[in-house]
Structure 1
Amino acid sequence: MTETPTAPPPAVWPTFTARDARGLIAFLVKAFGFEETAVYGDGDVVHHAELSWPPGGGVMLGSARDDNKPITPIGSFSCYVVVPEGIEQLIERARSAGAKITVELKQTDYGSTDFAAQDPEGNTWYFGTYPGEPRKSR
């Protein structure tokens, strides 16, 4: 995947919690290619973690704790991740790492090649080549 240095810094960070945040971080790095940017915590508990997506953006997550009921129930998170190149290799990487592929590679009517996978916590990750519509000039 190619980095996009001209993109503005991320200002929207999808967030979620996990039963086994450290295990999920390791899975997301191995299966999908996220990069571990920051992880703060004690032992098995992750208070805050940031995972960067190489072409830009990322997600934040932490451990679900008894004292902090998550707004988004564990396993109900979903996110679309843009894959500018190598989507065929990414689905095979995900499959090899044990991701449950819920939608095989397919062409959409808006010109994207997409697939979907679930992580071990039950979250759904949509990957595709569609980068969104160009921004309107100001």
Structure 2
Amino acid sequence: MNATNETTTARAPQVWGTLQAHDAPALIAFYVDVFGFEPTAVYADGDQVAHAQLDWPEGGGIMLGSHKPDGAWTREPGTAGFYVVTDRVDEVHRRVVDAGAEVLREPRSTDYGSYEFACADREGNHWSFGTYRGESRTAG
């Protein structure tokens, strides 16, 4: 393809991070109340969450459920890591600090043009919130 035919494309997010939790209802509440995710679907039987979809208001989201150590698709709680694009870095950081969550890296500007911070959730998963949206893709 020559350069004159290339176009920049923007696509709806289609990659969903997944994780499992020892206390999924509490972790969902933390993600909603502190991080700002929106609960789109939560299928639970008491404290056992079979599936939850939490959407990020600025695009994308995560899926999670209760830990199933013997399940075919199992993830050890506390081992996930996520990067979330947001224009509200300071707002999310303030809610994280107010909630007493562990801040791993204070807000800062990076050499690749992002403004971001990192923290751990109540089960130990690592989260980075920043303004970096990745590099532009061209249609192929």
Taking structure 1 as the reference length, the TM-score comes to 0.89
Residue of 94, 99, 102 corresponding to 2:101? 99
CA contact (8 A) 1:51 1:58 kept: yes
CA contact (8 A) 2:20 2:74 kept: no
Q: Between the two proteins, what is the percent identity of the paired residues?
A: 50
Alignment partner of 1:22 is 2:30 = no
- Runs (5+) with no aligned partner, structure 1: 1-6
Aligned-pair distance for 1:68? 2.2
Q: SS at the partner of 1:48?
A: strand
Aligned-pair distance for 1:69? 6.8
Aligned-pair distance for 1:114? 1.0
Which residue identity lines up with residue 112 of structure 1 in the other structure? S
Taking structure 2 as the reference length, the TM-score comes to 0.87
- In the other structure, the counterpart of 1:40 is 43
Q: Which has the larger radius of gyration?
A: 2
Alignment partner of 1:52 is 2:55 = yes
Aligned-pair distance for 1:67? 3.8
Number of equivalences? 132
Post-superposition, which runs of at least 4 consecutive aligned residues in structure 1 deviate over 6 A? Answer: none
Aligned-pair distance for 1:70? 5.6
Alignment partner of 1:81 is 2:84 = yes
Q: SS at the partner of 1:23?
A: helix
RMSD after superposition = 1.7
- In the other structure, the counterpart of 1:65 is 68
